[in-house]
Amino acid sequence: MLELNAVNSGYGETQVLYGMNVTAQPGRVLAILGRNGAGKSTTLKTIMGLLPTKSGTITFDGAPIAKRPFDIAKSGIAYVPETRDIFPSLSVRENLEIASKRFGDGAWTIERVIDLFPRLGERLDNGGMQLSGGEQQMLAIARALLMN
């Protein structure tokens, strides 16, 4: 379970999140809705350690969440950035391999993500830049799944 309790966060002196409370339970899907600029991405960046929490607490499975994005990823939280951030100079296959090598040994394999997104399987040798927006989105989601 991932829990945000009274989290304040933002960019430098600009505060965006005021007392944010969120509980994400295992096996459930949680959606956060809001107008443009409301703070959805800021919430995710704060959970992922890309922005510092000014105050409040974030816990994951009952313990305080790690501080560094790398450790947070290692603890089992994967982030699909709005900007996708796939590696443009690497092929689809290489983008997938990087994710699976780092945090592999779980339920998700490259074969399994290709089953989910056959389109990626047809484009394994395409460069990261040679993909449509939706294909890049599939790759960003596939990469997150491969981190298990």
Ligand X SMILES: Nc1ncnc2c1ncn2[C@@H]1O[C@H](COP(=O)(O)OP(=O)(O)OP(=O)(O)O)[C@@H](O)[C@H]1O
Q: Which stretch binds Mg ion (CB under 5 A): 81-89, 101-109, 111-119, 129-137?
A: 81-89
16 binds ligand X (CB under 6 A): yes
Name the pairing type of β-strands 53-60 and 2-11: antiparallel
Residue 38 near ligand X by CB under 6 A: yes
18 binds, among Mg ion, ligand X, none (CB under 5 to 8 A by kind): none
One of 27, 37, 52, 64 touching ligand X (CB under 6 A) = 37
Residue 42 binds ligand X (CB under 6 A): yes
- Identify the CA nearest to 69 among candidates 53, 46, 88: 46
Alpha-carbon distance 69 to 80, whole Å? 13
Q: Does 1 bind ligand X (CB under 6 A)?
A: no
CB of 93 to ligand X, least distance (A): 30
**Nearest approach, Cβ of residue 44 and ligand X (Å):** 8
If one asks whether residue 137 binds Mg ion (CB under 5 A), the answer comes out as: no
Give Cβ neighbours of residue 124 (< 8 Å, ≥ 6 apart).
Answer: 91, 92, 93, 96
The site that binds Mg ion (CB under 5 A) totals a number of residues, namely 3
Residue with tokens 């304040």: 8
Residue 70 makes contact with ligand X by CB under 6 A: no
Binding stretches for ligand X (CB under 6 A): 11, 14, 16, 34, 36-42, 82
Residues forming contacts to Mg ion in the complex (CB under 5 A) are: 40-41, 82
